[in-house]
Homo-oligomer: A and B are copies of this chain.
Amino acid sequence: MSLAFDRHDHAACRRDALAAAEAVCAERGERLTPLRRRTLEILLESHVALGAYDVLARLAAEGFGSQPPVAYRALHFLVERGLAHRVEGLQAFVACARPGAGPHEAAFVVCRLCRRVAEEPAGAPPPRPDGFAVERRVVEAQGLCAACRDGAGEAP
């Protein structure tokens, strides 16, 4: 079952993710400030990946700063703590769908049309190093979700 493309209790997604965020920050003595919390809430509205400038526009409309670093800083904060992920293939950000795991890697299934992103537990450890120190993995499958193949670009 992949949250992004199946019916599910999304209110629970939001609730759990926010609770996990509070927990992660508390545990590490860091602050989930209003800006950071609101940024996470915006990402959590759906499983659709948002560009940094989309997030920024939302933040600015709510009285936060209107310049790029405002959004990027909050997004980086979330990404570093595993509360959100950057989807390289879209140059966009999604809320983490498996909160409470601490910083972690994951594989993503990404619809290039509706930009919904399903997060799967990171697959098999990809390529073999050889004296190579792997720091980060990017595993993404891009394509069309069932809804976008049928109805051509459903609302997420």
Enumerate A111-128 residues with CB–CB distance to B below 8 Å: 111-112, 118, 120, 123-128
Q: Are B135 and A143 in contact (CB under 8 A)?
A: yes
Q: Which residue of B lies closest to A124 (CB)?
A: B124
Q: Which residue of B lies closest to A149 (CB)?
A: B133
Distance, CA A127 to CA B120, complexed state (A): 7
Residues in B neighbouring A5, C-beta threshold 8 A: 129-132
Copies of this chain per assembly: 2
Residues in B neighbouring A143, C-beta threshold 8 A: 128-129, 132-136
Residues in B neighbouring A120, C-beta threshold 8 A: 126-128
A96 smallest CB distance to B (angstroms): 16
Q: Are B146 and A130 in contact (CB under 8 A)?
A: yes
Q: A107-B127, A123-B126, A124-B124 are in contact. Are A139 and B136 (CB under 8 A)?
A: no
- A5, A118, A127, A149: residue with the most chain B Cβ atoms closer than 10 Å: A127
